[in-house]
Amino acid sequence: MNVFKADDPLLQVHNVPRYYGDRIGCTDVSFDLWPGEVLAIVGESGSGKTTLLNCLSTRLAPTAGAIEYRMRDGSMRNLYQLSEAARRLLMRTDWGFVHQNAADGLRMNVSAGANVGERLMAVGDRHYGKIRETADDWLGRVEIASDRIDDDPRSFSGGMRQRLQIARNLVTHPRLVFMDEPTGGLDVSVQARLLDLLRRLVADLGLSVVIVTHDLAVARLLSHRIMVMRHGRVIEAGLTDQVLDDPREPYSQLLVSSILQV
Amino acid sequence: MPVRLYLNSVGKSFTMHLQGGTVIPVVENVEFSVEAGECVVLGGPSGAGKSSILKMIYGNYRCDQGQILVTVGDEIINVADAEPRQVLRLRDNTIGYVSQFLRTIPRVSAEEVVAEPLIAQGTSEAEGLDTARSLLSRLNVPERLWKLPPATFSGGEQQRVNIARGFIAHYPILLLDEPTASLDAANRAVVVRLVEEKKAKGVAMVGILHDEDVRQEIADRIIDVTGFSADVAA
């Protein structure tokens, strides 16, 4: 399987800054993302990685610059010149957003099946039996047993909630998924299972992913390319194993050398 | 035979910012080429930069100076300044790397680990797994282990899983990073056979092999890396 199917980028980011008053959230960020490519944004807390992710996913308007996205019809559109309705449709169908805290991405008071089915209804599915069947199939793909379909996520463990959130995001076959520390706050064994699941799903579905993580092991396992951020700027970028095995910038070297060996 | 790989004035050093910016020169003016069906072995003491040269060819280490030219069909790609996605494409279809150390992934079975590069090149999953099993069997990995993730295997078993993974797919260029280190005689002989089969298929290989017997058997040419030492040149 070739990782990159198309020669045209899916997302193009041109000189995007975001300021909070005088303070820099992130600045001078430019990159292209290709179909099927997983890009990890790494750095310490406060480095601007979440600000950038929020700008990319239209959750936070950048102060300047342009972010262009290739729509399903092949045209490149500036995300912040789309109508609010068009942007919301994009977020509900063509994109996914996996939050660190599953409760932020789920509706905690409706059933697991409804959490998954809701996104299908948003794209126009109306047939109850079919929606339930698809939801059940997706719960299976994220290793949630069928007999939990009517339970609400409050009764789920942290790992299960996270897997449910992933199913909810992927059910509409998005082309681009944003992930904010998807394995943060989980036990290591739960983390390993989730990572393996993510790795398979991303490869099988040919997803493009922008993943924010402070865990370099997660970046190594999931991503093709890495951007190291510090003080709101991208200080080093490149092939994941090249940046991790041969880091060039002082801060990248510090990050890599700070990993504990097990 | 056509040249598959050409290193032209390749140089590399490491700057250790955490050690006060100490610059460690590795190699300078590395210059050699490898033809299809040829196995070139890099010689020289440890620390001479053999591994760094292999890693630069694979795009794992950055190449500071010079060019690393790889023939892909009618095209020539310079790994030293290729885009990340070009390098990844090269690794899918053109350059293979057989190393001693397996990077295990939780929950992925040995046979899947081995089959993955072949499936990535478009072989069906069933055929990929079949080929994987026959390679594991040739390398004497016990059948009871095939369905298990290799994280719990012994060092030698993991190494053989990784060798199977490295040899399973067809790459016009194959890099061998001490594939026979710490193998017993029987398994060393299997690796020698695998290398001979690749040669017969026209694969260009660059290897690091400390085992004198294996080296005698498979090397068409030995290049002494100390000739590229940055210290000597300085």
Which residue would you say has higher pLDDT here, B67 or A262? B67
Q: Which residue has the tokens 């990929």?
A: B128
Q: With an 8 Å Cβ cutoff, are A253 and B59 in contact?
A: no
Q: Which of A241, A245, A249, A261 to mutate to test the interface with B (most CBs of B within 10 A)?
A: A241
Q: How far apart are CA A41 and CA A234, in angstroms?
A: 9
Q: With an 8 Å Cβ cutoff, are A246 and B89 in contact?
A: no
- How far does the CA of residue A117 sit from the closest CA of chain B (Å)? 29
Q: With an 8 Å Cβ cutoff, are B61 and A245 in contact?
A: yes
What's residue B103's pLDDT? 75
Q: With an 8 Å Cβ cutoff, are A34 and B122 in contact?
A: no
Q: pLDDT band at A126, cuts 50/70/90?
A: confident
What are the φ/ψ torsions at residue A137 (nearest 5 degrees)?
-60, -45
Is residue A131 within 8 A of residue A117, CB to CB? The reply is: yes
Residue of B17, B89, B105 with shortest CB distance to A2: B89
pLDDT over threshold 80, residue B81: yes
pLDDT over threshold 50, residue A2: no
Which residue would you say has higher pLDDT here, A1 or A5? A5
- How far does the CA of residue B77 sit from the closest CA of chain A (Å)? 17
Q: With an 8 Å Cβ cutoff, are B106 and A2 in contact?
A: no
- How far does the CA of residue A78 sit from the closest CA of chain B (Å)? 24
B20 touching A (Cβ < 8 Å): no
B85 touching A (Cβ < 8 Å): yes
Q: In angstroms, how far is CA A99 from the centroid of its own chain?
A: 8
Mean pLDDT of chain A: 91
CA dihedral sign of residues B79, B80, B81, B87: positive
Residues in chain B: 234
Q: Which residues, 6 or more positions from B129, have their beta carbon under 8 angstroms from its beta carbon? A: B111, B112, B115
Mean pLDDT of chain B: 92
B-chain residues near A245 (CB < 8 A)? 55, 60-61
Is residue B192 within 8 A of residue B211, CB to CB? The reply is: no
Q: With an 8 Å Cβ cutoff, are B18 and A37 in contact?
A: no
Q: How far apart are CA B190 and CA B145, in angstroms?
A: 19
B117 φ/ψ sector (left φ>0, alpha ψ -120 to 50, else beta):
alpha
Is residue A196 within 8 A of residue A186, CB to CB? The reply is: no
A-chain residues near B87 (CB < 8 A)? 239, 242
What's residue A186's pLDDT? 85
What's residue B217's pLDDT? 92
Q: In terms of CA atoms, which chain B residue is nearest residue A241?
A: B60
Q: pLDDT band at B108, cuts 50/70/90?
A: confident
The CA radius of gyration of chain A, in Å to the nearest whole number, is 18
DSSP state, residue B229: B
A-chain residues near B85 (CB < 8 A)? 3-4, 34, 37, 224-225
Q: With an 8 Å Cβ cutoff, are B85 and A3 in contact?
A: yes
- What ipTM did this prediction achieve? 0.90
Q: With an 8 Å Cβ cutoff, are A221 and B105 in contact?
A: yes
B144 touching A (Cβ < 8 Å): no
User: Which pairing describes strands B75-78 and B65-72: parallel, antiparallel, or unpaired?
Assistant: antiparallel
User: Which pairing describes strands A76-78 and A66-70: parallel, antiparallel, or unpaired?
Assistant: antiparallel
Per-residue pLDDT tens for A132-145?
999 999 999 999 99
Q: What whole-number percentage of chain A has pLDDT above 90?
A: 71
B151 touching A (Cβ < 8 Å): no
